[in-house]
A and B are shown apart, each in its own frame.
Chain A
Amino acid sequence: MRYDVFFAGYGGQGVLLAGNLLSYAAIHEGKNVSFFPAYGVEKRGGAAMCTVVFADGDTGSPVVGNPSVSVLLNQLSFDKYAAKVKQGGVCIVNSSLVETNGVELPGIEVVLVPMNQIALDMGDVRMVNMVACGAYMEKSGSLKSASLEAALKKALPERNHKLISANVKAMEAGALAARG
């Protein structure tokens, strides 16, 4: 089985950490992984995106034109990438920041998750990427939540390990919201 997911948002939303986290979780499950980041020269505020591919065999192209799942965290990435999701694929949208403006996406399942709001309710808006990961897990069924938890230990520097339980809760909340 081969899974691919595209994350996009602005720099500072934790898009790259989300991709790293999924990668570590996939490695935890014995998969081959490629994580391909692309971001602007700015530390914050520029465009940030990454593509994660994981498979039992060859991961193939790290670049994916029509992703199976896209997780879009801001308006710009929604406007630019929502229509590129593969037919039959899933587009998970951060409805706290994205106005879909009645855009029709035939053949694509659109899942609206108010990620900023959920993260705020959990205590810190910076957990928006964890909410996004949870939503992805729920819709793709590709990774076990225990793997994500193990991945947090690897993806986060030790000084932040005290935040792992809060992050796990944020993921669970994201999954719940995506379940609808």
Chain B
Amino acid sequence: MQYTSVEKIFVKGNEAVAMAAIEVGCRCYFGYPITPQSDIPEYLSRELPGLGGEFIQAESEIGAINMLLGASATGVRAMTSSSGPGISLKQEGISYMAGSELPGVIVDIMRAGPGLGGIDASQADYWQATKGGGHGGYRIIVLAPASVQEMYDLTMLAFDLSDIYRMPAMVLADSVVGQMKESVTPNLRPQTVLPKKEWVVRGRAEGTPQNVVKSLYLGDGEMEAFHWKMQARYKELADNECRWEEVQTSDAELIVTAFGSTSRIAKTAVAMAREAGMKVGLMRPITLFPFPKKTYAALSERCKLFLDIELSTGQMIDDVRLSVARDVDVAFYGRPPGAGSLPTPEELFEQIKKNYRARA
């Protein structure tokens, strides 16, 4: 198959997600079309049947997320994808998956909102993704690719982390990274050691014990025990799975921080600042949950000025402020998403200059 070659290919971010899902053994996809992510179901509807897989265009996003729950309960790797309006509809199912300790990958190619919003890029679903968009108090793994290569690699990682930690995992991107085409190396599936899925529901014909997958805990202390167990798991995630990229932070007097598409634009702005002789660096979280708090804390011991940049009016900044030392200033530059509001590197460079000059 073409995607197991090591030759570079030229594909859209959305296509890279679909190819990576196949490479990593996902054979079940359930979804409902919505711009700007429809290339994912388009690709998988073409490819999965020939691989003995299942592609189902569900009756709705709610149907699709519950099919994901059901497929995952049988132990297979499965995926769904959507954008803002559809991801909102899926929240009930995501909460049930979290409550049932089920793995499964959800891809969110963010578009402007609220409501139907628009089809342009947005980062305004950060809170929804990282804070538990459904009810009950839970977290899911959230990965934020900034390139088509990362769309490929992080989709594979999402499946592995999801299986290892028995939690839903989300790939959180937007229409810039989803619709953009880049040259990509279609890497092979990583050789991760995965836990055996002892908990699957496959009927008793195979001699497996009776398993129950549920999110209902009525017994005395049962619900509380579930929550403490999950809290311990979130800590394990934070201790072991934080990923980030730092660019020229070691001598920086201002650290720009941004994720996903915006970080790509910011990285070029940081390079412009360096060219102009300013000591500016970049901190890009790749895992949004777990958020790389310790790295921010360590960086802020030395650098006392951060500039958080988002394609929203400011959401990740909450986590940045909670992570840095107390004597650190966190400035903000962001624009609400929508047609025409994607910032340019030149624009971000102006913001860097303004904040750099004003530093203490």
Q: Which residues on A are within 8 Å of B, measured CB to CB?
A: 20, 23-24, 27, 31-37, 41, 59-66, 154
Contact = CB atoms under 8 A, between A and B. Distances in A.
Given A34-B181, A61-B345, 10 more contacts: A34-B147, A34-B182, A41-B35, A60-B264, A62-B264, A63-B264, A63-B265, A63-B345, A65-B344, A66-B344
Contacts of B345: 60-61, 63-65
A41 B183 CA distance: 26
Nearest to A16: B181
Contacts, number: 65
Contacts of A34: 147-148, 180-182
Contacts of A20: 181
B151 to A, nearest CB: 12
A37 B181 CA distance: 8
A60 B183 contact: no
Contacts of A37: 179-181
B171 interface: no
B10 A24 contact: yes
A65 B181 contact: no
28 contacts: A23-B181, A27-B8, A32-B183, A33-B10, A34-B180, A34-B181, A34-B182, A35-B180, A36-B176, A36-B179, A36-B180, A37-B179, A41-B35, A41-B119, A59-B182, A60-B267, A60-B268, A61-B344, A61-B345, A62-B180, A62-B261, A62-B264, A64-B344, A64-B345, A65-B344, A65-B345, A66-B344, A154-B10
Contact of A33 (B182, B267, B271): B182
A34 B177 CA distance: 10
A157 to B, nearest CB: 15
B182 A61 contact: no
Contacts of B179: 36-37
A61 to B, nearest CB: 4
A65 B176 contact: no
Interface in B215-269: 261, 264-265, 267-269
B268 to A, nearest CB: 4
For the complex of A and B, the 5 pairs showing the least CB-CB separation, nearest first, are: A65-B344, A61-B268, A65-B346, A60-B268, A35-B181
